[in-house]
A and B are shown apart, each in its own frame.
Chain A
Amino acid sequence: MTKINVALIGSGNIGTDLMVKALRSTQLAPIWMVGIDPASDGLKRARAAGLKTTAAGLDGLLPHLAEDGIRIAFDATSAYVHHEHARRLREHGIAVIDLTPAAVGPYCVPPVNLAQHAGRGEMNVNMVSCGGQATIPMVAAISSVQPVEYAEIIATVASRSAGPGTRKNIDEFTRTTANGIENVGGAKRGKAIIILNPAEPPLLMRDTVHCLTEGEPDRERIRAAVQAMLTEVQKYVPGYRLANGPVFDGRRVSLFLEVAGLGDYLPRYAGNLDIMTAAALRTGEMLASEIVAGRFDPRPLETGPGASI
């Protein structure tokens, strides 16, 4: 199968975990890893895996995009820098999968709306957040049964799995996730809470979903929809499980989820990395198959007056 060449920007926890997964892909060929710290563990591992690396940030990558035939870039830096990255990569005609909470492009939660993005030729899609990837599928499952007036998620992650980018971006996490709950999950109002827990040994990622339905919840159909969605997510995150629930209490429907990772980079407790990187990889593979099939041709956008990202 023809592989599409990709670059990974960001050599932190997420970028490095994504690299390990991308190396296994039958549709993507990771060529570059971009960092800003030459001593970072991610860059070291990338070199060892045979990737080209630069510690000069995006500037170190841009001159090589054409010669290395890069068509897709994954950005796992931070919301602060993604805005600039998005603009410059777009000028170079690179399709971007954004793993920061910057949300320049439309949200992508694969089991809910990846199919809709396919064929639309989006040059920038956003992966919401780890908490969003873990919970929005379930909000969408409940919304598919009956209107959800309000949905709230609480993501608890091990401190060791939350890198400096996440920590500096904690407000962006809550905002972006809440927006995703509404725009992709289908809830009329969304709220997101994130808790970092430093316990040793580190705890598995936990996600609680509370939905307030309009009218009495249709218990049987909600149970079936949740079960079907669980199977969908498990296709790309095998460690995703419903630990408890659904609990029905008046109009409240609550689910208690647990996400174990594959242990590709950080150990298995860091399911928050896997659910993000596995979703991004799935999105990248979809874009790649569109490119291979000739239905999608990422190209530089006009950047004259009036053009916007």
Chain B
Amino acid sequence: MNLRGKRILLHDNCLRDGMHPKRHQISIEQMVSVAGALDVAGVPLIEVTHGDGLGGASVNYGFPAHSDEAYLRAVVPRMTQARISALLIPGIGTVDELRLAHDCGVGTIRVATHCTEADVAEQHIGLARKLGIDTVGFLMMAHMTEPEELARQAELMESYGAHCVYCTDSAGFMLPDDVTARVQALRAALQPGTEIGFHGHHNLAMGIANSLAAVEAGATRIDGSAAGLGAGAGNTPLEVFAAVCERMGVHTGIDLYRFVDVAEDLVVPMMDHAIRIDRDSLMLGYAGVYSSFLLFAQRAARTYGVSARDILVEMGRRKAVGGQEDLIEEVALELQARAAGKSAADAVRGPAPSGMPAQHALHAEQELDA
């Protein structure tokens, strides 16, 4: 693979996606210290907010230690060169929160929808563009649709005003060929001036390989997190990707040593648990399940005495999309009832988990019916 001479923009997500494994409890001091150190290391774009984006504070996703506004007002003024971004998922947050983030000095707004539902983002992308800030469309769970349909959805986001559209592997399910096919389709469909981004999760250890495939296919923005701090088995470990880029002659503008030190000295000590591919996060990538379901499934598994893996596989079978954390407790209740031999609430069975090999889906079905 020859990527020599390409220029890409690295976008650190450890203070947003990293809020998931931190149960949204990162302190203001930690936000300021990590963002400040990333800024000094030359990271050009840093995302800050609740893990589920602006307005994510809820019973469903978790109440954060501080409000989006408090985090943003603390972090934004400290930046010397980095721009701060905020994520907004329509249906969770509204244009009111978008305006607030803009007022806090956010320079990039990323509007996220499920990969086939771009048309709910028209209001939000339109407003961000009107406010004159860098506007990104973020197509989540992109493995759940074909490249052609993903490109059609990306065109919608572009038509609403997005400067850049992301192929987002929220489940860490994709393999490099899946990424290549999708990014190529986006590149062929979008205007030459519209950028393409890739956001990876490391559930199958494909974060780096997938990001390289994305760059080769024309992506110019790559997401990741220092030390991989993100949902599931984490995001693409961005300092590792930066090192690989340097080896391959891809320009990122980052001071690698400083960046590696931020990951090791500041981010790793913040972790409540090691961000690694354990059996549950592996299952996310294997079955194509939204990465932030991990901790919720583990919690429900403890509460109801069922297996987190079974919960996650069942979430995949029901084709749950991002944001359906409320289904996890219900699935756990039904698995518990089934295990107890009671007639479980007559759960509506969907087909096999998205993309899961048929023989394994069948196996899972037998387990659940047992």
- Give A residues with C-beta under 8 Å from B: 150, 152, 154, 156, 159, 164, 167-168, 170-171, 173-175, 191, 193-199, 201, 203-204, 206, 208, 210, 212, 243-244, 247, 252, 254, 256
Contact = CB atoms under 8 A, between A and B. Distances in A.
Interface string B80-121: 000000000011101110000000000000000010110110
A308 to B, nearest CB: 24
B94 A171 contact: yes
A170 B90 contact: yes
A204 B348 contact: yes
21 contacts: A154-B60, A154-B323, A154-B326, A167-B119, A170-B123, A193-B323, A196-B91, A196-B117, A196-B321, A198-B116, A198-B117, A199-B319, A199-B321, A203-B348, A206-B327, A208-B60, A208-B330, A210-B326, A244-B330, A247-B329, A247-B333
Nearest to A207: B326
Given A206-B327, A210-B59, A244 B333 contact: yes
A199 B95 CA distance: 27
What is the predominant secondary structure among interface residues of chain A facing chain B? strand
Nearest to B91: A194
Contacts of A256: 326, 329-330, 333
A251 to B, nearest CB: 11
Point out which of A204, A244, A252 has the most chain B C-beta atoms below 10 A from its C-beta: A244
Point out which of B94, B326, B350 has the most chain A C-beta atoms below 10 A from its C-beta: B326
Contacts of B95: 171
The 9 closest A-B pairs by CB, nearest first: A199-B319, A208-B326, A210-B59, A171-B94, A194-B91, A154-B326, A256-B330, A195-B323, A198-B116
A175 B333 contact: no
Point out which of A150, A171, A173 has the most chain B C-beta atoms below 10 A from its C-beta: A171
A88 to B, nearest CB: 25
Given A175-B94, A196-B117, A168 B123 contact: yes
A212 B59 contact: yes
Given A170-B91, A193-B91, A195-B91, 19 more contacts: A154-B326, A164-B119, A167-B119, A170-B120, A171-B124, A173-B91, A174-B92, A193-B92, A196-B91, A196-B114, A198-B321, A199-B319, A206-B326, A208-B330, A210-B59, A243-B345, A244-B330, A244-B345, A247-B333
A197 B324 contact: yes
A198 B330 contact: no
Nearest to A156: B324
A195 B321 contact: yes
B239 interface: no
Point out which of B60, B90, B91, B117 has the most chain A C-beta atoms below 10 A from its C-beta: B91
Contacts, number: 96
A195 B324 contact: yes
A145 B309 CA distance: 38
A167 B323 contact: no
Contact of B120 (A154, A196, A252, A254): A196
A247 B324 CA distance: 18
Interface in B292-345: 318-321, 323-324, 326-327, 329-330, 333-334, 345
A174 B350 contact: no
Contact of B320 (A175, A193, A197, A201): A197
B333 to A, nearest CB: 5
A152 B58 contact: yes
Contacts of A244: 330, 333-334, 345
Nearest to A150: B59
Contacts of B321: 195-199
Contacts of B178: none
Contact of A252 (B59, B96, B123): B59
Point out which of A164, A175, A196 has the most chain B C-beta atoms below 10 A from its C-beta: A196
Contacts of B347: 243
B319 A197 contact: yes
B246 interface: no
A199 B318 contact: yes
Interface string B116-142: 110110111000000000000000000
A159 B318 contact: no
Contacts of A191: 58
A245 to B, nearest CB: 8
A162 to B, nearest CB: 8
A195 B333 CA distance: 21
Contacts of A150: 59
Contacts of A199: 318-319, 321, 350
Interface string B141-152: 000100000000
B138 to A, nearest CB: 15
Nearest to B115: A198
Contacts of B327: 156, 206
A201 B351 CA distance: 8
